[in-house]
Amino acid sequence: MKFIDYPNYIKKTWLFLYKLGAAGGCHQMPERSFRFFDMQFPVCARCTGIYLGQIIAIPFFLTNTVLKLYICFLFLVIMLCDWLIQFFKIKESTNFRRFITGNIAGIGLMGLYFNIFKFLLALIRL
């Protein structure tokens, strides 16, 4: 990773975020990552979408809006299909498509977490 003349605090912050992205399990492949000026995003396009989708989902769940379980799984399957299509070289995925399917999966994942949380809360209240 290279840096042009950025202040030291920006370089240190970006490197910290980059290490955090690696710790989260992202492959961080340069060709599958967005760039901000000359700096590669700390996570790939799909992980960026997943994280953003999870953030977008939080207000819905704070207002007690729950996605049905089949919708959560459908959202996750959409990303899986995109991955499988790319893996089997049927069609190369683009960063935009990775981002969109990751975003949808992030919402589905948060919905799944929220459903599990509600189920466990109901068990505790028994």
DSSP SS3 for 25: coil
DSSP for residue 32: G
Distance of CA 100 to the CA centre of its chain: 10
Distance CA 109, CA 114 (A): 9
pLDDT band at 7 (very low <50, low <70, confident <90, very high): confident
pLDDT in tens, 50-61: 999 999 999 988
Residue 5 has pLDDT above 90, yes or no: no
Q: Which two tokens stand for residue 77?
A: 């399957």
Q: 36 has which bridge partners?
A: 39
Residue 72 has pLDDT above 90, yes or no: yes
pLDDT in tens, 100-126: 999 999 999 999 999 999 999 999 987
pLDDT band at 1 (very low <50, low <70, confident <90, very high): low
Distance CA 57, CA 107 (A): 5
pLDDT in tens, 12-49: 898 899 899 999 999 999 999 999 888 889 999 999 99
pLDDT at 66: 85
